[in-house]
Amino acid sequence: MPLREVVLFPDPRLKLVSKPIGEITDEIRMLAADMIEVMYDEPGIGLAAPQVGASVRMFVIDTEWSDDEVGRHPTVVLNPEISEREGRITWDEGCLSVPDYNAVVERDAKITLRGLDLEGKPIVERAEGLRAVCIQHEVDHLDGILFIDRISRLKRSLYVKKRRKQLAEEAAERHG
Ligand code: ZN
């Protein structure tokens, strides 16, 4: 089976607020497996379900993976919540759904992540630095928020312009 395609800005599906996961079905387990594959294939360090077109509250993350099977430790988190936020940090962020763009975003420096794993067991993780940034970025996706929604209006509008131009060029190429 081909990999699921990553949904790209400005696809309206990226703006949806995702639904909580009630029952952990085979469909959810398959979606998680697919998301892990897509994340390593792209490559990325995190991927939220809406980025493959599924509007459910789940993300996968692996902030320290190396390019061999043994170096891969993906964490799947269902119904994530962030609590106990402490301090502020800035980080240069990018996103698989926002092609060819990076920008510095301010976020909480230390957080506690709570959620469920694929067996329905609770996850509690204290995170800081890149890991904390990535978790906040992924949880944002579940609320329909992209990192470009957290930068200045001016920077955002410059990116939107650049992206429109890029899409117009792609369309022109397709039509020869
Ligand atoms: Zn993203």
Distant-in-sequence, close-in-space partners of 86: CB < 8 Å, separation ≥ 6: 108, 109, 110, 111
What separation in Å is there between the alpha carbon of 5 and the centre of ligand 1?
14
Max Cα-Cα span within the chain: 54
The confidence score (pLDDT) of residue 107 equals 98
What separation in Å is there between the alpha carbon of 68 and the centre of ligand 1?
23
> Does domain 12-175 bear CATH number 3.90.45.10?
yes
pTM of the model: 0.95
Q: Residue 100 in 3-state DSSP?
A: strand
Strands 75-95 vs 122-128: parallel, antiparallel or unpaired? unpaired
CB contact at 8 A, 75 and 62: yes
Which of the following is catalytic: 93, 138, 169, 170?
138
Positive or negative: CA dihedral 149, 153, 156, 160: positive
The confidence score (pLDDT) of residue 1 equals 63
Structural domain spans, the chain: 12-175
Q: Residue 15 in 3-state DSSP?
A: helix
- Check residue 56 and report its DSSP letter: B
pLDDT 10s digit of each residue in the chain, 176 long?
Answer: 678 999 999 999 999 999 999 999 999 999 999 999 999 999 999 999 999 999 999 999 999 877 776 788 999 999 999 999 999 999 999 999 999 999 999 999 999 999 999 999 999 999 999 999 999 999 999 999 999 999 999 999 999 999 999 999 999 998 87
What separation in Å is there between the alpha carbon of 17 and the centre of ligand 1?
14
CB contact at 8 A, 140 and 106: no
pLDDT, tens only, 108-147:
999 999 999 999 999 999 999 999 999 999 999 999 999 9
Residue 4, exposed/middle/buried by CB under 10 A (0-12, 13-18, 19+)? middle
CB contact at 8 A, 63 and 46: yes
What separation in Å is there between the alpha carbon of 50 and the centre of ligand 1?
10
What separation in Å is there between the alpha carbon of 176 and the centre of ligand 1?
31
| 93 given a catalytic annotation | no
